[in-house]
Amino acid sequence: MHPGATLFLDCCAQEEFWPDGSWPLVNASQAVNIERLFAFARELTIRQGGILCRHLPGETRTPQDGPVHCREGATWSVRPPSCQPVLPIVVARGDAHADDPPLDRTCALYLDSGCAAPPDSAFGHRRAFAHLTAGVRDAVVFGAGVEHAMARAVEALLARRIRTHVALDAAGAADEIAAQLVIADWKRRGVDVTTVAMVERMLLRN
């Protein structure tokens, strides 16, 4: 892996999913490792972007015992303090148009495609995901929702023939059994199921 051709793609790094959040998907050690990857990205100036779990007005809401971000509009944008990318976050909406201003490299692109939709299905998301992954040879995926947002992000990366690495010690799941099935499928399809320490070693070789 070379830092200049690597993407760190974080999924659902939102305060709600952290150990003290209202819907904890990430345990304490996983949270530390996710934050460690953000620090490493700052150190090596690695391209950053990701997926945000956001539910828009008018969508079917989950029951009252579901995640807060499905019921309250602003919670999706609240991130743990140590999970801010180097560049300012710009959220790419799915309803963008072809005549919108061109995307550039002065921001960290985050797609609000959520936990259920692929990050390249809506036009605006597809446009942003293509820009985010342009020139990328390796992508490191981590965050919350192994069997949800992370699974869909990995699928989109594999479709673009990008070498995909998942740092499992920096990845939380809602359903551990479902997550294990997803991980087994990743292994069969050539995804590098790895650790934060190994990602660091691979990047520091260059």
Residue-wise pLDDT tens digits, 83-139: 999 999 988 888 877 667 778 889 999 998 877 788 888 898 999 999 999 999 999
Domain span at 154? 3-204
Report the mean per-residue pLDDT for the chain.
Answer: 89
Per the listing, tokens 């807060």 go with 68
164-191 pLDDT per residue, tens: 999 999 999 999 999 999 999 999 999 9
The DSSP 8-state label assigned to residue 87 in this structure reads S
- On whether the CB atoms of residues 109 and 132 are closer than 8 A, the answer is yes
Mean pLDDT confidence for 133-147? 96
Instruction: Please tell me the total count of domains within the chain.
Output: 1
Residue 8 three-state SS: strand
69: left (phi over 0), alpha (psi -120 to 50) or beta: alpha
29-59 pLDDT per residue, tens: 999 999 999 999 999 999 999 999 876 655 5
Mean pLDDT confidence for 74-91? 86
* Sheet of 163-172, strand order: 89-92, 108-111, 47-51, 6-11, 138-144, 163-172, 192-194
DSSP-derived secondary structure for 100-150: SPPP-SSSEEEE--TTTS-TTSSHHHHHHHHHHHTT-SEEEEEEE-IIIII
CATH of the domain at 141: 3.40.50.850
